[in-house]
Amino acid sequence: MNPITVFVDADACPVKDEINKVAQRTQIKVILVANQFINIPLNSLFEMKVVKGSFDAADDWIVDHIDARSIVITADILLADRCLKKHARVLGHKGNEFNDDNIGSAIAQRELMENLRHMGENRGGPSPMQKKDRSQFLAKLDQIIQDLKRKR
């Protein structure tokens, strides 16, 4: 059975430090995937994977390397959908877990917001990370790891 591995859509990930803390405590490997090199915490459990190519090359690499023992950290709803189809667990930066029950509405909300932006109705982006968001992320990541460990 494959070990639990965390894959991070790392280009704009605001929770790398939190992931580092969890990786050290649980001794779980983390692969940070991006289109260009980014600074990552010094941790032997962390691996940086730079994927060159198209805009979606990093997303494609993640999807090609995950399985049911993978946890994917991303805010990209379309990537989340692709990962769920490969039975990975998917967690957003603010601690919201994507699953088969909520991914459809998340995609619909994304499309609605994109349409509003194109019409000039909505100029804002996501709200900034708060301390409670980081706490919620840490708690949910711990819960997912424990769930996967129990399913050995």
Nearest Cα residue to 33 out of 53, 48, 21: 48
pLDDT tens per residue across span 54-77: 888 999 999 999 999 999 999 999
Residue ranges of domains in the chain: 5-99+131-150
pLDDT of residue 98: 93
**pTM for this predicted structure:** 0.87
Q: What's the confidence (pLDDT) of residue 21?
A: 92
Question: Given the DSSP bridges, would you call strands 89-91 and 97-98 parallel, antiparallel or unpaired?
Answer: antiparallel
95 pLDDT exceeds 90?
A: yes
Question: What fold is seen in the domain 5-99+131-150?
Answer: Rossmann fold (3.40.50)
CB 2 within 8 A of CB 69: yes
Model confidence pLDDT, tens digit, residues 113-152 = 676 666 776 666 667 888 999 999 999 999 999 999 998 7
